[in-house]
Amino acid sequence: MTFTFVTLFSNLIEGYFNDSILKRAIEKNIFEVKYLNPRDFSLNKHSKVDDTAVGGGAGMVMNPQPLFDALDSLKKEDENVYIVFLTPVAKPFVQNDAKRLSNKSHIAFVSGRYEGIDERVIEKYADEVFSIGDYILTGGELASLVICDAVSRNIDGVLGNSDSLTVESFESELLEAPSFSKPKNYEGLSVPSEYLKGNHSKIRSLKLALSECKTKFFRPDQLKKHNI
Ligand code: ADE
């Protein structure tokens, strides 16, 4: 699988793949990461990539030309590339999207900076458009990393233990039950005694009850959505 980040600021992204699980996945050739800078395609003599908004409005908007040319070159190289735009003006990204996108062979994430991207670019090239939440970031780079991380851990072989995928929050309608590590007692704080007794069916029912409590407390909307 290939992830291509279409961004003016690849240095904001690169470091994330230099450690831990995703670094190992790249070393095992499970996926590769590439970068494409729209500025390299700008026909402006100063390599400008943005301009003031037509019709007025604050801030600069990314011009169509560098992005049209960058994305055309990407599609010419790989006609199957799936192009995802990151903007707060979009549907929210959820776990089901992460699973679905993990079956693509090549995803390109297009990050806007400044006040956004000329709408004609999105109209022409977007296979899908996502927001990662109801807040405004300074650019799409963090959002593209969030989505790339969530997608990549669903690709076969990225996680050491694929069981960890099936019990996670959002894999069912409930948030995941709390986890504990060792020691069993730390500074007078003990893990729930049921976790210690080794009766797996009892542990399962306790975990289910705790999942329900967590969901009711933190995400009552989830319970309503699934009629629980
Ligand atoms: N760019 C700026 N804010 C964003 C958000 N919330 N989600 C995706 N892309 C963004």
Give the position of tokens 């996926």: 31
Query: Residue 186 burial (CB < 10 Å; 0-12/13-18/19+)?
Result: exposed
Which residue owns the Cα nearest ligand 1 atom 7?
131
Indicate if the pLDDT at residue 162 is higher than 80: no
| Region 137-153 average pLDDT | 97
Mean pLDDT of 123-137: 97
List of residues 6+ apart from 69 with CB closer than 8 A: 41, 43
User: Which residue's CA lies nearest to atom 10 of ligand 1?
Assistant: 87
- The average pLDDT across 162-166 equals 68
How long is the chain? 228
Give the per-residue pLDDT at 139. 95
**DSSP-based three-state secondary structure for 82:** strand
Is residue 117 within 8 Å of residue 87, measured between CB atoms? Answer: yes
How confident is the model over 117-135, as a mean pLDDT? 98
Q: Is the CB of 189 under 6 A from ligand 1?
A: no
Say if ligand 1 is within 6 A of residue 134 CB.
no
pLDDT band at residue 181 using 50, 70 and 90 as cut-offs: very high
Determine phi and psi for 2, rounding to 5 degrees.
Answer: -120, 135
Q: Where does 15-118 have alpha helices with state H?
A: 20-27, 64-77, 95-101
Residue-by-residue DSSP string for 33-49: EEEE-GGGG--STT---
62 lines ligand 1 (CB under 6 A): no
Tell me the β-bridge partners of 109: 5, 84
Of 144, 145, 162, 142, give the one whose Cα is nearest residue 153: 162
From ligand 1's centre to the CA of 224, what distance in Å? Answer: 27
Domains and CATH numbers, the chain: 2-152 (3.40.1280.10), 169-225 (1.10.1270.20)
Span 76-94, average pLDDT: 97
Here the tokens at position 114 are: 């400044």
Q: How far is the CA of 129 from the centre of ligand 1 (A)?
A: 10
Average pLDDT over residues 127-155: 97
Q: What is the pLDDT of residue 114?
A: 77
> Would you say residue 167 has pLDDT above 90?
no
Compute CA 26 distance to the chain's CA centroid, rounded to the nearest angstrom: 17
Residue 124, both tokens: 């022409």
pTM here is 0.93
Gap between the Cα atoms of 69 and 116, Å rounded: 18
